[in-house]
A and B are shown apart, each in its own frame.
Chain A
Amino acid sequence: MNPAGKTSRRLPDWLTAQRSVRVSAAILGAITLAAILGPVLSPHDYLTTDFDELTRPPSLGDGHVFGTDDLGRDLFVRTMLGIRVTLMVAVVASLVSLVIGVSYGAVAGYVGGRTDAIMMRLVDALYAMPFIFFVILLMALFDRSLFLIFVAIGAVKWLDMARIVRGQTLSIKNREFVQAARLTGVPTTRVILRHIAPNLLGVVVVYVTLTIPQAILVESFLSFLGLGIQEPQTSLGTLVDAGVPHAESAVWLLLIPATLLAVILLCFNFLGDGLKDALDARRRR
């Protein structure tokens, strides 16, 4: 074996110990797969309007498994595209918050002292900004785009991550194995990379899985307000928004995207909670 070892090899063992984690991960995997392959395999596309097929209810016979919307577009393909966008927004936004939050928090925690105080007061100040107001401002000033939504959500969600990572770093940097490494002369960057970062990983993984559903909700909320993804592009939030006027005449237009949104949110929440429990259990051991 390689004496240098791999630092994160053990992670999956405890990460997948909980049943809620395995089941949610499986469902999310299936949904993601469908979202990727569905539009490719379907005979329809998301743009073509078919005036003979306006607001058709779901049926297996004619290939419109989820029916069509009021413009005659295939709802299955549109929903799958919506899931793609929603998941992408969520994951990218969470990654943005992960990168900014972890580096910011780790630096503040490890350097400590005055630097830490200034950095964390800045975070406090940003917390005080009204988020929705900030997003609406951004949308009004610039062209609405997917990119802007990533930035807007990530820019807010990193604050929590920075706080959590800073707290963890503070406690880890005084742990004895870090002292032992410093004593023997391990350089600072290697101390951070080999001794501090891997021990942050558990908490960060858990927190990211809990940030994703928050980002999904924010995106859906923005789209619902008409501030998010623009037609003919779509997201689950936009689809729900479009479905609301038809709630009485064509209920599937609301029900299908709303149900999928709920399932995705629940799965991410279960995943996050399950991972959190697994992490706590490992700590207690």
Chain B
Amino acid sequence: MSLLEIENLSIRYGAEAVVAGLSLTVEQGESVGLIGESGSGKTQTALAVLGLLPGAARLGGSIRIDGKEVIGASEAELNRLRAERVAIVFQDPLQALNPYRRIGSQLRQVLIAHDIAHAAAADEQVLEMLARVGLPDPKRQARAFPHQLSGGMRQRVLIASALLTSPDLLIADEPTTSLDVTVQAQILELLEDLRDETALLLITHDLGIVAGTCERLAVLDAGRLVESGPTRRVFAAPESGRMARLIAVAPRLDRGDTLPPVTGDPVFAVRDAEVAYRERDGGRLLNAVCGVSFDVRRGETLAIVGESGSGKSSLVRAALGLAPLASGRLAFRGEPLPGSLRDRSLSTRRELQLVFQDPVASLNPQMPVAAIVDEPLSLHRPELGVAERRETVAAMLDRVGLGGEYHRRYPQELSGGQAQRVAMARALITEPSVLVCDEAVSALDGRVRRQILSLLKDIQRETGLATVFIAHDLAVVRGIAHRVLVVYLGRHVELASAANLFDKPQHPYSRALIDAVPVPDPVAGGAGTPLPGEPPSILDPPSGCAFEPRCRFAHARCAKEAPFVRQVRGARVACHRADELDLSLRAP
């Protein structure tokens, strides 16, 4: 008898079937990956296993745990099931934790509610479990509130909370999607470590994650199982076209062409930018960005990469004039550019445009699509008549792939990908020379992300647009960037051509970022190598090199002296040891 047997499961809401005819088993101690893009029914399946679906859901088929039927079970039976057999870890750890209770007391509550331990023993068990999931200094952390922990630490706490009941099956629903790549690798390593204790059902859209973690895979597409089998077999010889396509288009860091460098004068240049924020109530000045320089040329894409909190958004926002620049110089086409938006002429404002991460938040919910795109046009081309403007707007929307039926829609009525197209149309309608994309595809699904990226590439080819592309994930950047700037804690780490950075990184942090990305190939790569530790806080920056506390190659000197940016083997690197280290991924 299998631990979990799902047989011919269907989930319907009214007339809409979100899952149909799904069969899946998980054996004792096994690790199974459930793959699909958003809307494919993965999460619904997970919730069905736990009996957590809303009352409106109509279930068919059978879900058995150790032979016991879940569908139609009473609330008491389900509670016992959730207490003893199955636990779940959700995507967003902040939402899954109670913000008003200390971590320790939340976990303690789990033990006491399930009668697993008595008050006296509970505290000790909680601390043990927190240590088990790799929380540093569990005694202190147990007294922290959820918001005081980083995303990675919160996810560890959630895993600890799930493991307290010693479940036989742990369901992890996109457990690393909201985390940085380096932290993602840490969490995957933790899940791997737990394999002796529990079976794992890992739900994700990311093939790289399952390739290194799971023994078997099941692939969902629009609520139907299209493929299942051992991981190696599925990757080596996918039976379904769907899976074959997913494998073919999965972003890979370890292969694929990088774009050659672009020559020419910089269109937009930022020199020694510093951005500082005042702590609340007139406290200290905190440096979010410390002396970073970059430039971007016509027809070039410069990627700026770093973990969350690395200051990449602060940097470009200050460069665009949306936040004050503490010091530094800006230049547009060789002419000095004032830091404040107010001092910039309308014609230069036209030239620098921005696309945001959250496409829906960046569109005014009270304006229809055509009006959103028309606003910058009417401002910058006042000589155009209404009819001409309408034509230009329609042509622009058409260019980003939105036909006439979208003109009257409101942002809430668009999907994320459509909204991002509108945001791009709004940015491009003034024919800017520089476009900044601030994590513009991070919130989008795999397929939509690829469409937006290829659209961006096409437009760049046609118009010679200079693009600054901000991302936290190197895998997204490969294939679209000509050069890459890596930043860490608001400091320059490495600036190199894409080919150099991906094959011969010169800085240990660049290499760690590359290593952390899981490779969607169970033979060649698998799960990424975690970079231990957490990015330091700008509240308390390390003296010397900012990366020193997490660096494998750190010397005594690194803790004392901050490195200067210098030229090493074709890259601009800030590392004392760059000359002596060879961090290449492939033999030259």
Which residues of A does B touch, CB under 8 Å? 1-5, 7-10, 175-177, 179-186, 194-195, 198-199, 201, 282, 285
> Taking the nearest CB of chain B, how far is it from the CB of A229, in angstroms?
40
CA–CA, A195 to B235, complex, Å?
Answer: 49
Known contacts A183-B341, A185-B350, A285-B412; A5/B370 CB under 8 A? yes
Structural contact, B354 and A177, CB atoms closer than 8 A = no
Q: Who on chain A is nearest to B356 by CB?
A: A176
Residues on B with C-beta less than 8 A from A285 are 412
Structural contact, A184 and B379, CB atoms closer than 8 A = yes
Known contacts A176-B361, A179-B322, A180-B356; A7/B367 CB under 8 A? yes
CA–CA, A3 to B376, complex, Å?
Answer: 12
What are 18 A-B pairs at a CB distance below 8 A? A1-B370, A3-B370, A4-B378, A8-B366, A179-B322, A179-B354, A179-B362, A180-B354, A180-B362, A181-B364, A182-B341, A183-B349, A183-B352, A186-B379, A198-B367, A199-B364, A199-B366, A285-B412
Which of A10, A183, A195, A199 interacts with B322 by CB under 8 Å? A183
> Taking the nearest CB of chain A, how far is it from the CB of B11, in angstroms?
22
Count A-B contacts at CB 8 Å: 91
Which of B361, B407, B430 interacts with A184 by CB under 8 Å? B430
> Taking the nearest CB of chain A, how far is it from the CB of B204, in angstroms?
26
> Taking the nearest CB of chain B, how far is it from the CB of A197, in angstroms?
9
CA–CA, A186 to B410, complex, Å?
Answer: 20
CA–CA, A2 to B385, complex, Å?
Answer: 11
Known contacts A176-B356, A176-B358; A182/B322 CB under 8 A? yes
> Taking the nearest CB of chain B, how far is it from the CB of A171, in angstroms?
11
With a 10 A CB-CB cut-off, give which of A1, A8, A199 has the most chain B CB atoms.
Answer: A1
Interface residue B346 (Cβ < 8 Å from any Cβ of A): yes
> Taking the nearest CB of chain B, how far is it from the CB of A189, in angstroms?
13
Residues on A with C-beta less than 8 A from B363 are 177
Interface residue B389 (Cβ < 8 Å from any Cβ of A): yes
Structural contact, A183 and B354, CB atoms closer than 8 A = yes
> Taking the nearest CB of chain B, how far is it from the CB of A169, in angstroms?
14
Structural contact, A185 and B349, CB atoms closer than 8 A = yes
Structural contact, B358 and A183, CB atoms closer than 8 A = no
- Contact flags B420-442 to A (C-beta < 8 A → 1, else 0): 00010011001000000000000
> Taking the nearest CB of chain A, how far is it from the CB of B25, in angstroms?
37
CA–CA, A1 to B371, complex, Å?
Answer: 10
Q: Which residues of B, 335-358, contact A by the 8 Å Cβ criterion?
A: 341, 346, 349-350, 352-354, 356, 358
Query: How many residues on the B side are at the interface (Cβ–Cβ under 8 A)?
Result: 40
Interface residue B99 (Cβ < 8 Å from any Cβ of A): no
Residues on A with C-beta less than 8 A from B379 are 184-186
Residues on A with C-beta less than 8 A from B390 are 1, 3
> Taking the nearest CB of chain B, how far is it from the CB of A261, in angstroms?
36
Residues on A with C-beta less than 8 A from B423 are 180
Interface residue B549 (Cβ < 8 Å from any Cβ of A): no
Residues on B with C-beta less than 8 A from A8 are 366
CA–CA, A186 to B407, complex, Å?
Answer: 21
CA–CA, A198 to B368, complex, Å?
Answer: 13
Structural contact, B366 and A198, CB atoms closer than 8 A = yes
Residues on A with C-beta less than 8 A from B426 are 180, 184
Interface residue B270 (Cβ < 8 Å from any Cβ of A): no
Residues on B with C-beta less than 8 A from A3 are 370-371, 374, 378, 386, 389-390, 393
Interface residue B555 (Cβ < 8 Å from any Cβ of A): no
Interface residue B375 (Cβ < 8 Å from any Cβ of A): yes
Interface residue B284 (Cβ < 8 Å from any Cβ of A): no
